[in-house]
């Protein structure tokens, strides 16, 4: 095919142009703006699909194509080209972002139908798609950074989309600040690479890292800084606290940005920097540890949240922890990290859209304790959500089974010189699967199964609505809702994503997805885990079944109290994100506030004092000198005369 790669810049340009157009035209585009955005997103998907087919048509060793767009800037001896790298990794991301993104665009047309700022919302969505595509297509860290900041900006704008409500605006700011902390890591990493390699494009960095031109210490430093960046963007420990609050944004945003795509950028960065991490075992170990901590952290928080979206956010955090863990394992894990990322993109986006559909039906109620029994009223939502639920649980043959099981197996692969790692990380990943099964089943059962814990206003006397005595405290009657299935524009994307959740894992696993990524991730020799593979699979399934059964007993069979029980100390801690915000406040915000106050005081006292003091002194000196100016000619004359006499005296005294 003649030069299909020349189309690559259009991937970024089309959504960016659409976003600019929508923002510039303002209210003039209100009537049709959302359709333009949908069109731009689908156009990007078509271009991405054409490029993907082109890559598939090549032999495996020619599947890395660099397209130089032009000289970006010269700065002394540093010349930076803007270029696009098409390879299996970037094209996988392109397809994921544009396909899931386009579906969510379609969904949003209906979901945001009653919002007067729908056009602005779509402009931001397109801006996000453009920035994300730039991030994954860039052929250098510097251009990647532009996309990196772009998605951060789009995320900020969309979390705070309903910024007339102060907590939402604050949530956007929190996400932005947490991301900034991570960005420092990326900047420092780029500085280190510039100092030691002299270039920032992936080709040069890969060559330098693989040839051994960089010391292990340098690679470790770069790796750790890249990890910091990844932690910020992917909501990994210790920078994870923003993700829960990010649910303030409209639900399609949570689905697209804070579940399927942007938060996976950190995993992308680690996999993209495979050459750096492969040469820095310490940095890899830290990546694995961060992934394992976040995995457990998110799972524990997910068990306690009653807010539907926040529980899903905790689950996202935990699943990205899986991906990070896999990415830190090196070549055995890279492919599974990306594999899980893709399947997770589908099933988590599907579940978030399902959550949006539930909220749509229940007048924006998000408290799962006020749901229950929705499966009969929202059958399509329940089925599509259910498929996503089975996928995230890792029930065969749904998508999560293939990807998550791959990660668990990879975690059990022994590392030379550190036999404990295979056991520790393998067991963490295994137990994490069980906890995941518990909290996702809890979420599913509380929402769709059991008895209604709300009222549609007609059912007094039928005995279904009023919850058992004691469930409602006095004065809080069951909320009145009239649930209804969502319009077609919302249902279709949910169905498509649910089909993806169901079959994508099987399709990709049998079509050799992991070998498809080899041009980027490198070939991994198959290594035997410390336990036989069938044993691991069986153990995973047993743990998942146990989690599922426990949740079924507690939340489907037993009555769910409408008022949260006091719970154990762990539950109470998990409800407040394991005191993450409190720790951040105590460790960073409070000292920061004190430092600021001290600095402000010092500024007022010393700096301002000096400046104001000089001014006051001048004024006082002026006032004193002013007295001499009487305005009387004769006094001036007398002064002159006095001066002459004094001068004459001096001349006489000196001249003698």
Q: Kindly list the residues in this chain that would bind other proteins in the complex (CB under 8 A).
A: 625-634, 637-638, 641
The CB-of-617 to other proteins minimum distance in angstroms stands at: 18
Using the minimum distance from each CB to other proteins, give the nearer residue, 6 or 642: 642
Task: Output the smallest distance, CB 608 to other proteins, in A.
Answer: 29
If the CB atoms of residues 77 and 629 are measured against other proteins, the closer one turns out to be 629
**Sign of dihedral through CA atoms 326, 327, 328, 331?**
positive
Using the minimum distance from each CB to other proteins, give the nearer residue, 470 or 631: 631
In the complex with other proteins, which residue's Cβ is closer, 488 or 632? 632
CB of 651 to other proteins, least distance (A): 16
Annotate 206-248 with DSSP letters as a single string: HHHHHHT-S-HHHHHHHHHHHHHHHHHHHT-TTSTHHHHHGGG
If we measure between CA atoms, which residue out of 107, 8, 13 comes closest to residue 49? 8
Distances (CA, A) of 287 to 323, 400, 414, 426: 10, 22, 17, 15
User: Least Å distance between CB 650 and other proteins?
Assistant: 19
- 547: Cα separation from own chain's centroid: 27
Of 75 and 628, CB closest to other proteins: 628
β-strands 78-86, 65-75: how paired? Answer: antiparallel
State the minimum distance, in angstroms, from the CB of residue 590 to other proteins: 54
209 vs 405: CA distance, rounded Å: 31
Which residue, 469 or 633, is less far from other proteins as judged by CB?
Answer: 633
CB of 638 to other proteins, least distance (A): 6
The minimum distance between CB 619 and other proteins, in angstroms, equals 14
The nearest distance, CB 621 to other proteins, in angstroms, is: 13
Nearest to 38 by CA among 88, 93, 112: 112
Query: Residues for the chain: how many in total?
Result: 656
Least distance to other proteins, CB of residue 641, Å: 6
Contact between residue 51 and residue 8 where contact means Cβ atoms under 8 Å apart: yes
**Which residue is it, tokens 């406040």?**
585
Question: From CA 327, how far away is CA 285, in angstroms rounded?
Answer: 10
Which is closer to other proteins, CB of 638 or CB of 651?
638
- The number of beta carbons lying within 10 Å of the beta carbon of residue 53 is 12
Smaller CB distance to other proteins: residue 75 or 624? 624
> In sequence order, which residues have a C-beta less than 8 Å from that of residue 436 and are 6 or more positions away?
299, 302, 315, 318, 319, 392, 393, 394, 544, 547
Which two three-digit tokens encode residue 75?
């700065």
In whole angstroms, the minimum distance from the beta carbon of 655 to other proteins comes to: 16
Give the SS3 label for residue 23: helix
Residue corresponding to tokens 């170990």: 285
How far is it, in rounded angstroms, from Cα 392 to Cα 299? Answer: 12
Angle between helix 419-448 and helix 379-393 axes, rounded to 10 deg: 170
474/625 with CB nearer other proteins = 625
Q: How far apart are CA 268 and CA 275, in angstroms?
A: 13
CA distances from 544 to 1, 401, 431, 540 (A): 47, 11, 9, 6
Q: Which is nearer to other proteins, 470 or 655 (CB)?
A: 655
Q: At closest approach, how far in Å is the CB of 631 from other proteins? A: 3
Q: Which C-beta is closer to other proteins: that of 418 or that of 619?
A: 619
3 state SS of 78: strand
CA atoms of 459 and 467, how far apart (whole Å): 12
Q: Taking the C-alpha atoms of 589, 593, 594 and 596 in order, what is their torsion angle to the nearest 10 degrees?
A: 130
Residue 649 beta carbon to other proteins: minimum distance, rounded to whole angstroms? 15
Alpha carbons within 13 angstroms on the beta-carbon side of residue 626 total 6
Q: What is the DSSP letter of 201?
A: B
- Closer to other proteins by Cβ: residue 480 or 645: 645
The least distance separating other proteins from the CB of residue 642, rounded to whole angstroms, comes to 11
Output the six-digit token pair for 429.
């990943």
Q: CA 231 to CA 178: how far, in whole Å?
A: 9
Measured from the CB atom, is 474 or 652 closer to other proteins?
A: 652
Q: Using CB atoms within 10 Å of the CB of residue 216, give its burial: 0 to 12 exposed, 13 to 18 middle, 19+ buried.
A: middle
């Amino acid at each position: 095919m003649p030069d299909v790669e020349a189309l690559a810049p259009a991937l970024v340009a089309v959504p960016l142009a659409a976003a600019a157009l929508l923002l510039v035209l303002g209210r003039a585009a209100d009537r049709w703006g959302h359709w333009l955005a949908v069109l731009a997103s689908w156009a990007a998907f078509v271009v991405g699909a054409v490029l993907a087919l082109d890559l598939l048509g090549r032999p495996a060793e020619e599947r890395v194509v660099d397209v130089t767009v032009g000289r970006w800037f010269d700065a002394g001896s540093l010349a930076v080209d803007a270029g696009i790298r098409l390879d299996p990794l970037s094209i996988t991301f392109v397809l994921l972002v544009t396909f899931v993104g386009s579906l969510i665009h379609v969904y949003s047309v209906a979901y945001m139908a009653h919002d007067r700022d729908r056009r602005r919302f779509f402009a931001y969505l397109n801006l996000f798609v453009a920035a994300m595509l730039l991030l994954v297509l860039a052929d250098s860290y510097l251009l990647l950074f532009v996309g990196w900041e772009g998605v951060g900006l789009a995320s900020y704008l969309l979390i705070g989309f309903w910024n007339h409500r102060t907590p939402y605006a604050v949530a956007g700011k929190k996400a932005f600040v947490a991301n900034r902390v991570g960005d420092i890591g990326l900047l420092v990493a780029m500085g280190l690479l510039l100092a030691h390699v002299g270039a920032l494009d992936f080709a040069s960095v890969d060559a330098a890292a693989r040839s051994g031109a960089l010391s292990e210490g340098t690679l470790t430093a770069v790796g750790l800084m890249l990890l910091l960046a990844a932690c910020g963007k992917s909501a990994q420990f210790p920078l994870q606290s923003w993700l829960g609050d990010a649910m303030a944004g409209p639900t399609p945003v949570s689905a697209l940005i804070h579940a399927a795509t942007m938060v996976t950028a950190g995993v992308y960065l680690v996999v993209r920097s495979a050459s750096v991490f492969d040469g820095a075992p310490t940095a890899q170990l830290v990546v694995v540890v961060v992934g394992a901590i976040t995995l457990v952290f998110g799972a524990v928080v997910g068990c306690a949240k009653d807010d539907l979206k926040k529980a899903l956010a905790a689950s996202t955090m935990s699943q990205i922890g899986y991906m990070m863990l896999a990415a830190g394992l090196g070549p055995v894990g890279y492919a599974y990290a990306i594999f899980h990322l893709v399947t997770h993109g589908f099933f988590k986006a599907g579940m978030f859209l399902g959550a949006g559909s539930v909220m749509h039906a229940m007048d924006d109620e998000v408290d799962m304790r006020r749901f229950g029994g929705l499966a009969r009223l929202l059958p399509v939502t329940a089925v599509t959500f259910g498929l996503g639920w089975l996928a995230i649980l890792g029930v065969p043959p749904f998508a999560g089974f293939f990807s998550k099981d791959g990660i668990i197996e990879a975690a059990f692969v022994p590392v030379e010189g550190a036999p404990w790692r295979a056991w520790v990380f393998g067991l963490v990943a295994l137990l994490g699967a069980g906890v995941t099964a518990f909290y996702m089943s809890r979420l599913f059962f509380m929402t769709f199964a059991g008895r209604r814990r709300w009222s549609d206003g007609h059912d007094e006397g039928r005995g279904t609505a009023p919850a058992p005595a004691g469930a409602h405290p006095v004065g809080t009657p069951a909320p009145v809702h009239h649930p209804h299935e969502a319009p077609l524009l919302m249902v279709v994307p949910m169905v498509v994503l649910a089909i993806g959740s169901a079959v994508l894992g099987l399709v990709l696993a049998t079509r050799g997805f992991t070998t498809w990524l080899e041009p980027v991730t490198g070939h991994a020799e198959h290594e035997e885990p410390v336990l036989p593979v069938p044993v691991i699979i069986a153990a995973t399934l047993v743990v998942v079944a146990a989690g599922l059964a426990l949740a079924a007993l507690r939340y489907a069979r037993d009555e769910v109290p409408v008022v949260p029980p006091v719970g154990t100390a762990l539950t109470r801690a998990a409800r407040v994100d394991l005191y993450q915000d409190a720790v951040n406040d105590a460790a960073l915000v409070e000292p920061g506030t004190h430092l600021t106050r001290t600095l402000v005081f010092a500024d007022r006292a010393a700096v301002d004092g000096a400046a104001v003091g000089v001014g006051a002194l001048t004024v006082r000196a002026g006032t004193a000198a002013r007295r001499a100016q009487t305005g009387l000619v004769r006094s001036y004359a007398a002064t002159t005369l006095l001066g002459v006499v004094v001068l004459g005296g001096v001349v006489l005294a000196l001249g003698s």
